[in-house]
Amino acid sequence: QVQLVESGGGLVQAGGSLKLSCAASGSIFSIVSMGWHRQAPGKQRELVAYITSGDRTNYADSVKGRFTISRDNAKNTVYLQMNSLKPEDTAVYYCYLRTYMTYWGQGTQVTISS
């Protein structure tokens, strides 16, 4: 059983920053990647960023240059540093971990006020 616990969401003004964390625990073997999706009200869930076991990263075009994903392998934790936040970044952010299965966190709310 794998559990993902997210933290770091909240309410900030446009232009501000937040850092999300996602800690994985349980029987974790052969991590392929970890990352973040988000879902805004009335919209489909979309990929924000991911980082592979080889530290290759990928970002949605909408967050390139503003968000940075990183991981601490020893802690099985992935981070998402979000800078220059915009109201359109408002969403529930979901962490995931991919091995031979994909596991999801419960989500953390990020709200950006204009």
Distance, CA of 80 to CA of 60 (rounded, Å): 13
Tokens of 61: 């075009």
Question: Residue for token digits 């937040």?
Answer: 18
Residue 52: per-residue pLDDT: 95
59 vs 50: CA distance, rounded Å: 7
Dmax (CA) for the chain in angstroms is 42
What per-residue confidence (pLDDT) applies to 1? Answer: 86
Helices (H) and strands (E) counted in the chain, each on its own, are 0, 11
With 90 as the cut, is the pLDDT of residue 27 above it? Answer: no
Can you tell me the distance from the alpha carbon of 67 to that of 58, in angstroms, rounded to the nearest whole number?
Answer: 11
Q: How confident is the model at residue 29 (pLDDT cuts 50, 70, 90)?
A: confident
Is residue 113 predicted with pLDDT exceeding 90?
yes
| pLDDT digits 0-9 by tens, 78-92 | 999 999 999 999 999
Task: Over range 13-23, report the average pLDDT.
Answer: 98
Using one digit for the tens of pLDDT, what is the confidence trace for 34-83?
999 999 999 999 999 999 999 999 999 999 999 999 999 889 999 999 99
CA pair distance 102, 19, nearest whole angstrom:
23
